[in-house]
Amino acid sequence: MHIRFMVPGNVRHGSGGNKYNAKLAEHLTALGADVETVIVDGDWPVGSPADRQRFGDMLDGGATVIADGLVASGSPDEIAGAVGKGTSVWILSHMALADHHDLEAKALAAATGIICPSAHAADELETKHGTQDIVIATPGADKADPAKGSQPRHIVAVAALLPNKSQTLLVEALSQITDLPWTVALIGSEDADPMYAAEVRAAVEHYGLHNRISVTGELTGNAFDEEWHKADLSVLLSRSESFGMVVTESLAHGVPVIVRQGTGAVEALGGTGAGAALDLSDPNNLTMTLRVWLTNPTLQQRWRNNALQARQHLQGWDTTAATVLSALGTKPQSLL
């Protein structure tokens, strides 16, 4: 099967959507699909008429297309036209659009099918647009060595520095527990929103925490592996999250996670007992939870043991890809 996988060109940091797309393409290929990844430049999620025309031209040709929702959800006419000419167009909706309700509704209706990376993302789409026929293909997790941890305890927050990710909330919570020993690394791109990144750095300086909180930028390779190696706890405080692949990445390293209630990160953490899902309508809940964890070795060990247990049962990306191939009507060659 030839699959044209169309992804947005205007998301240049290491977002969860970008990582999901890359891993899915890699593992679709491993299962025997012929995957052509096409980067679609444009001011998405709607783009200019020229952007949408270019997207529509790329849909032409009768192939099977998987189009990232950031590109596809604002282009219903182009999708309807392609489907009418025999192209199978699947929208991979990582997260419902914040705006452009009518365009998204028409695009979903015109598409051959819809794929979501989590039940949470599917529920959000259905809340906005009514019942949809959605295939849920949850992210996989790569195998990793268990973290060794640190003394003092080392906390990582892996996410681009964006207002949605709430790094300033974490800095403020940490400013209330400076009587305890800890270190923190904020790991993620500062380029996605330079103004917010500057706010995060200013908060670190304001509270005098520059010797305890490092703002590392986006890390890869050995530098990133070393941060996981040192980690004792991972924190993902996003206000909105379709799944939160950093949660399963944390568990793959045997590192427990604190997430925010009401987001897809709760789905990623599941019933593992490897951390906590907090109601952050009261920011003090985060401060108190971190204080309890830092001062309670029994809790630290329980969360750590549960994370190591969860590590043994994480889904691989091959399962994600097989789910998508099955939806597209093809059995993976490796399963034939």
Secondary-structure breakdown of the chain: helix, strand, coil percentages, each rounded to the nearest 5: 45, 15, 40
Per-residue pLDDT at 103: 93
Say if CB 11 and CB 43 are below 8 A apart: no
The yes-or-no verdict on residue 163 having pLDDT over 70 is: yes
What burial class does residue 65 get, using C-beta atoms within 10 Å of its C-beta: 0-12 exposed, 13-18 middle, 19+ buried? buried
Q: Higher pLDDT residue, 333 or 23?
A: 23
Per-residue pLDDT at 14: 63
pLDDT in tens, 27-74: 999 999 999 999 988 888 888 899 999 999 999 776 899 999 999 998
The yes-or-no verdict on residue 332 having pLDDT over 60 is: no
Q: Is 239 helix (H, G, I), strand (E, B) or coil?
A: coil
- 13 pLDDT band, cuts 50/70/90, is low
The yes-or-no verdict on residue 334 having pLDDT over 90 is: no
Domains of the chain, first to last: 2-140+316-335 (3.40.50.2000), 154-311 (3.40.50.2000)
Stated pTM of the model:
0.91
End-to-end CA, the chain: 14
**pLDDT > 70: percent of the chain:** 96
